[in-house]
Amino acid sequence: MLVVTPKISTTHSRSAAVTRLSSLTLLSSEEMDALSTAEGTRQHVRAQGEILVEGAPVREASIILSGWACRVRQFPNGRRQLLGLLLPGELVGECRQRSALATASVIALTDVTLCARPDPRARPGLAEAYAVSAAIEESYIFRQIARLGRLTAYERILDWLLEVQERLAIAGLAEGGRFPLPMTQEMLADMLGLTSVHVNRTLQILRREGVLELSGGSVLLREQDRLAELVDYRSVTVTAG
């Protein structure tokens, strides 16, 4: 239950955003400072609150500093589908276009803290980091399509958990197969195209098999190599040499 991160013991270690973006490409110290400065002016959104509304204009791109968010599509009959996660250090509302409207709503799954994205002009490292981030995000989106289209409930859950772990690890928020999972089984169901009842039953199978511990909003994944093979999970690679 207790997550210890002994190696990062300085009072105020690097934020998730700095950890993530500086791991995507080499950032100058000026660029890291720009990020830290930007993090000073935060914006808070309560759980369930809307960060972006589908069809509404996108003001400016933001970076998620803490908390989990997701893109979502709502159907009129009550069904809804979570299109993809947005985790700390990741960007919201990137677009290359003036007068752009959001192509999907974004809501906060937990309480979320955001800040404006530092201007990438005259900061090639940041521009590169944003571009790499966008490319990685695209590959997460494609993975979500393949997951929903061709994996069983059992495989979907494993594949998705492996992805979440990888994404959190990039931001320094997962360690040793353990990471937070602040979502109800109903949210999981909406993310994975299942019902909450079936998510529940499948999670129990995974627990019984010993590959998964799940309690108090925190997960421990065991035997990850075997699981990754099972669902053909591949780590993200978007840049060459």
Partner DNA sequence: CGCGTTCTTGACTGCTTTCAAAGATGGTGG
Partner DNA sequence: CCACCATCTTTGAAAGCAGTCAAGAACGCG
CA distance 110 to 156: 22
63 lies in the site for DNA, by CB under 7 A: no
CA distance 157 to 222: 14
Pattern 78-107, a second copy, x by CB under 8 A:
-xxx-xx----------xxxxxxx-xx---
Tokens, residue 65: 């500093």
215 lies in the site for a second copy, by CB under 8 A: no
Query: In this complex, which beta carbon is closest to a second copy, that of residue 173 or of residue 183?
Result: 183
CA distance 163 to 191: 13
Query: In this complex, which beta carbon is closest to DNA, that of residue 59 or of residue 222?
Result: 222
- Window of 11-19, 44-52, 131-139, 168-176 that interacts with a second copy by CB under 8 A: 131-139
122 lies in the site for a second copy, by CB under 8 A: no
**End-to-end distance of the chain based on CA atoms, in angstroms?**
39
142 lies in the site for a second copy, by CB under 8 A: yes
CA distance 107 to 222: 30
Q: Is the dihedral of CA 103, 186, 69, 5 positive or negative?
A: negative
196 lies in the site for DNA, by CB under 7 A: yes
Closest distance to DNA from the beta carbon of 69 (Å): 16
DSSP 91: E
- Window of 30-38, 43-51, 123-131, 164-172 that interacts with a second copy by CB under 8 A: 123-131
CA distance 99 to 88: 26
Sole residue written with tokens 């499948």: 202
205 interacts with, out of a second copy, DNA, none, CB within 5 to 8 A per kind: none
Tell how far CA 95 is from the center of its chain.
Answer: 18
73 lies in the site for DNA, by CB under 7 A: no
CA distance 77 to 102: 22
Residue 24 carries which side chain, given as an amino acid letter?
L
Choosing from 76, 122, 208, 216, the residue that interacts with a second copy (CB under 8 A) is: 76
139 lies in the site for DNA, by CB under 7 A: no
134 lies in the site for a second copy, by CB under 8 A: yes
37 interacts with, out of a second copy, DNA, none, CB within 5 to 8 A per kind: none
Three-state DSSP at 140 gives: helix
Residue numbers at the binding site for a second copy (CB under 8 A) = 55, 57, 71, 73, 75-76, 79-81, 83-84, 95-101, 103-104, 128, 130-132, 134-135, 138-139, 141-146, 148-150, 192-193, 232, 237-241
